[in-house]
Each structure stands twice: as structure tokens, then as C-alpha cells.
Amino acid sequence: MVGLVVVSHSERAAEGIAEVAAEMGGDTRIEPVGGDGRGGIGTVPDDIEAALAAADDGDGVVVLVDLGSAVMNAEVAIEMGDTEAVVADAPVLEGAVNAAVAATSPSATLDSVREQAEAAREIDKL
Amino acid sequence: MSADGDAAVAAVERIAERIERERDHLTELDSAIGDADHGGNMARGWASAAETVRELDDPDPATVAKTTGRTLMSKVGGASGPLFGGSLVFASAELEGGLTPESAVGFAETYLAKVQDRGDASVGDGTMVDALVPLVHTFKKSIEVDDVPPVVALAKAVDAAERGAAFTVPIRAKRGRASYLGWRSVGHQDPGATSTLFILEALLETARDRLDVSVAPDLDATSPTVPDEGAAEE
């Protein structure tokens, strides 16, 4: 099935978002990744690449990202790695929850999961 | 080690030295319009890159460029990691057939295209693209149209980059962290454009050392308006 990677500048934020999404995601593989590797805020392409490989079981990976350089580093990691993966243009938490649910569908594809993640942009809260 | 591979390692070492010397200067620029980490991040990344390429066994220029890029990606952080490092990794493929004037043009063009694509920035946005576009265009024209020796082409390109970096001072940043400041970014030189210029100046110094210096032009003769090289306060 399609896997998910949650990329945040904060490792703890990535883990927390993955935790929330996993509540809804059944068997979906969700790999959180974040932090600058030195205990600080940031993202590292090599770490994201490793998370992509860990989340992939052959059907590809949808990547949820927070801000700025997380987007760039996710793109770099996808280019460097061997995993088929796409970045969803979506809010990171809501997108992760949507994607986790979408990935459990028997007919889920990389595109359908990404589309569901991106549908989270339309969520009204009030 | 091949002469070109040796020169490529020397270039990375020289860039690392220059960035280290400019660490405070870059941080100062970044503290005006960013988060004051550009000097430290770049110095750490380039020092690590110099260390890594020194250990390579008989490297060619493509391997040196790729290794440098990968090191920058993991050590620099922020947007500069993917922009400087990721673009270098991507462009290094252009050098796989060896370092020639033509492959150098291909390398420069690919690097620029990647930075523009990744950063979604155009000329006039107050970013490193403002230094890179005139740099790459001048280099390409000098090689392909004017048919001047490579080191002359590089010198002209560095002149163009210097004007490009200066151009980021009066304009309002539209991309990158400085854009959050709106009009308050006016009057500040972009740190990324500035470090790009320093990198190219160090590259030019290496080229002058390694190539026939008699063909290297007097920079002032081609651009009387440009201040002395290395005039940045140290």
C-alpha cells in the first residue's frame, strides 16, 4: 500500500503528526522525520531519503511537509533516492490524516492518496 | 590525482577558507533580513566539504562537485542546504565527461535552472538568483559567443555576479526569508547572493592559479565601476 512520510522542522512535531494520522490510518506505514540532526530545528535530505525507503513497500510514498526548506529538502530527497514519491501540497497535519485514511482504500494509488491529502486545503474549521 | 580533480579539490578548499573569513560578514547581512545563521551554516558546511573531498581517492571534478553538494545538503541546513548543495549535486552530472569550457557552461546552466526551479525565484526577487543569472549568462556568452579563454570568461562572470549581488540592495525581496520583511528588506544586500559571489571569487582565484595567468584579464579594465575584489570588511 501507499506509504506516508511526515516531514517537519521539529522531530517531535513530525512524530506527533504521525501519531495523530496513525489513529485513522490502520495499517498505513507512516514515517515521521524532522530536526537538523544536531538536536535543533531543521530538515536533512539524507534523513528524509531514509524515511522514504522505510515507508515504501513498492506502491510509492506521499510526502507531507511543513514549511519552506522542508519542501525543498523533501524534493531533493526524492530526486536522490530510488523511492517513487510525491510531495502533497497540503497542510501537514490535516493532509497526513486525510492521506492516512485514503491509503487504507483497496483502490488507493499514489495519485489518489496525494489528491486526498491536498483536499485538506479546503477544510473549514469554523 | 588528475590535474582537474586536484584543481577541483583546491577550489573547494579555497571556497571554505573564503567563507570562513566572511563568516561574520555573512551573518551580519543575514541578521539584518534573516535569522543570522548564514555565515555559521555556510562556514560549517564548506569546512566539512573541504575535509570530505580531501579524503577522496583520485577524484574527478564531477565527483568533487557531487561530494561537495551532498556534504552541503547535510551540513548547511535551512533553504541554503538544498539550494547550494542540491543544485551542485544535480549539476555535477554535467562534468562527468570531464571539465571543458563547454561542460562548465552546461554545469553553470544546470545549477542555475535548479536553483530557480527549487526556489521559485526570478531576477529581481532579491535572492541569489540576482547574482547567478548575470553570472551564468555572462559566462555562457563569453565562452560560446566571444570565444575568450575560460579564465577570462570566469572573470567577466564574477564581475557580473558582483553587480548582481549589489542589485539586491535597493530592491524589495520577494522570495526567501527576507521577503517576510516587505519594504524593510530594501537597503540590504542578500546574504545568499553575497555568498554566491564569494564562492565564485574563490573559484576564479583557483582558476587563475591553475591556468595560464598571462591570459587572465585585469578585472578593473573590464569593469571600472566595480570596487576592489575582497573589499568586504574583514
pLDDT computed for residue B230 by the predictor: 45
- Work out the mean pLDDT of chain B and round it to a whole number: 88
Asked whether the predicted pLDDT for residue B1 surpasses 50, the reply is yes
| Cβ neighbours for B186, distance < 8 A, ≥ 6 positions apart | B170, B171, B172
Asked whether the predicted pLDDT for residue B174 surpasses 50, the reply is yes
Burial of B177 (0-12, 13-18, 19+ CB in 10 A): buried
A75 to B82: CB separation less than 8 angstroms, yes or no: yes
pLDDT tens sequence across B188-205: 899 999 999 999 999 999
CA max distance for chain B: 51
Distance CA(B190)–CA(B185), nearest Å, equals 9
Distance CA(A83)–CA(A60), nearest Å, equals 7
Sequence-distant contacts of A25-29: CB under 8 A, at least 24 apart: A25/A97, A25/A100, A25/A101, A25/A103, A25/A104, A26/A100, A26/A104, A27/A1, A27/A104, A28/A1, A28/A2, A28/A3, A28/A4, A28/A99, A28/A100, A28/A103, A28/A104, A29/A1, A29/A3, A29/A4, A29/A54, A29/A55, A29/A56, A29/A57
B77 to A42: CB separation less than 8 angstroms, yes or no: yes
Domains of chain A are 3-122 (3.40.50.510)
Contacts of A68 in chain B (CB under 8 A): 78-79, 177
pLDDT computed for residue B177 by the predictor: 77
Q: Could you tell me what percent of chain B has a pLDDT over 90?
A: 69
What number is the average pLDDT over the span B101-124?
94
Which residue has 486526498 as its cell numbers?
A116
Best to test chain B binding among A65, A69, A75, A78 (most B CBs inside 10 Å): A69
Asked whether the predicted pLDDT for residue A82 surpasses 70, the reply is yes
How many Cβ atoms are within 10 Å of A106's Cβ, its own excluded?
5
Strands A85-87 and A30-34: unpaired
Asked whether the predicted pLDDT for residue A83 surpasses 80, the reply is yes
pLDDT tens sequence across B13-43: 999 999 999 999 999 998 888 878 899 999 9
Indicate the pTM of the whole model.
Answer: 0.83
Active site (catalytic) residues of A: 9
Domains of chain B are 3-222 (1.25.40.340)
pLDDT computed for residue B149 by the predictor: 93
Interface TM-score (ipTM) > 0.85: no
pLDDT tens sequence across B63-95: 999 999 999 998 998 889 999 999 999 999 999
Which pLDDT band holds residue B222 (cuts at 50, 70, 90)? Answer: very low
B82 to A44: CB separation less than 8 angstroms, yes or no: no
